[in-house]
Amino acid sequence: MHFTLFQKIGLSILIFAWLIFGSMMLSDILIKVDNSNIDALRLVSLPPSDDVSVEQEAEPEAAAQSAGLDVLMASTDAAAGKSVFKNCKACHSIDKGGKNKIGPNLWNIVGKAQASTDGFKYSDALSSRGGTWSFEELNGFLTKPSEYISGTKMKYKGIKKDGARAALLMYLRAQSDNPLALP
Ligand code: HEC
């Protein structure tokens, strides 16, 4: 096939125009798809409530709560808690069958009924509480004993640092034949 010069010029203009037009169409399609994606995302992330500002304020608090005891405990271990237990040794033994000292023996304390160690005379405050030493109860009590159970005989100021308490809980949990499942 032979083209004249004019035909060649005409043809290249056509191809050029087709390319421009084609790419415009293509980008148009892409942008449309993009927009619809963004709209879909907006729909999903919009809170169901009418009052958006209230919903948004509540979010950081929820996030802080979810970085709670379970997360702290998962990021530490019993070995780290062993050194925190030095704070307790003056009053508590923790070996299996260990003697009660100023405080009761703490073997298998996690998951155990409160004030239930044989041969220890508990305060009324603790013995009338009637709960179980869950991780949450221990965490609350060990933060500040006198405040968590007012009237307790345990004269100990408590452990302020969340991370140190979490490590201690890992250690207490491990001192058992059958450690309670992690929270
Ligand atoms: C100054 C002594 C003393 C220290 C230090 C101390 N405790 Fe106690 N603890 C006690 C006494 C006394 C009780 C009994 C409390 C009561 O009857 O109200 C007790 C009770 C407890 C109980 C409840 C036991 C049960 O059978 O219900 C736990 C758990 C406990 N202590 C953990 C700890 C841990 C962990 C530490 C270290 C961070 C610690 N204690 C430090 C004296 C102490």
Domains of the chain, each with CATH number or no CATH:
69-174 (1.10.760.10)
Cα 65 off chain centre by: 7
Token code pair at residue 94: 């923790």
Mean local confidence (pLDDT), 31-50: 51
Indicate which residue's Cα is closest to atom 34 of ligand 1. 88
Ranking 37-46, 101-110, 121-130 by mean pLDDT, the lowest is 37-46
| Residue 155 in contact with ligand 1 by CB distance below 6 A | yes
User: 163 CA distance to ligand 1 centroid (A)?
Assistant: 19
| Residue 125 in contact with ligand 1 by CB distance below 6 A | yes
Mean local confidence (pLDDT), 32-51: 50
Indicate which residue's Cα is closest to atom 39 of ligand 1. 88
Q: Give the per-residue pLDDT at 181.
A: 96
Mutate which of 154, 160, 168, 180 to test ligand 1's pocket (most atoms within 8 Å of Cβ)?
154
Token code pair at residue 155: 């004269």
Question: 148, 147, 72, 155: which is closest to 114 by C-alpha?
Answer: 148
Return mean pLDDT, the chain.
84
| Residue 170 in contact with ligand 1 by CB distance below 6 A | no
Mutate which of 92, 141, 147, 152 to test ligand 1's pocket (most atoms within 8 Å of Cβ)?
92
d(Cα 91, Cα 155) in Å, to the nearest integer? 10
Residue, of 121 and 3, whose pLDDT is higher: 121
Q: Give the per-residue pLDDT at 12.
A: 82
Question: 71, 87, 72, 85: which is closest to 174 by C-alpha?
Answer: 85
| Residue 109 in contact with ligand 1 by CB distance below 6 A | yes
**Do 93 and 120 meet the contact criterion of CB atoms below 8 Å apart?**
no
Given a cut of 60, whether residue 160 has pLDDT beyond it is yes
Whole-number Cα distances in Å, 20 to 7, 25, 83:
20, 9, 72
d(Cα 50, Cα 42) in Å, to the nearest integer? 15
Whole-number Cα distances in Å, 176 to 19, 107, 181:
75, 6, 12
User: 72 CA distance to ligand 1 centroid (A)?
Assistant: 22
Q: Give the per-residue pLDDT at 27.
A: 67
pLDDT range class, residue 123, cuts 50, 70, 90? very high
Indicate which residue's Cα is closest to atom 37 of ligand 1. 88
Q: Give the per-residue pLDDT at 90.
A: 98
| Max intra-chain CA distance, the chain | 113
pLDDT range class, residue 65, cuts 50, 70, 90? very low
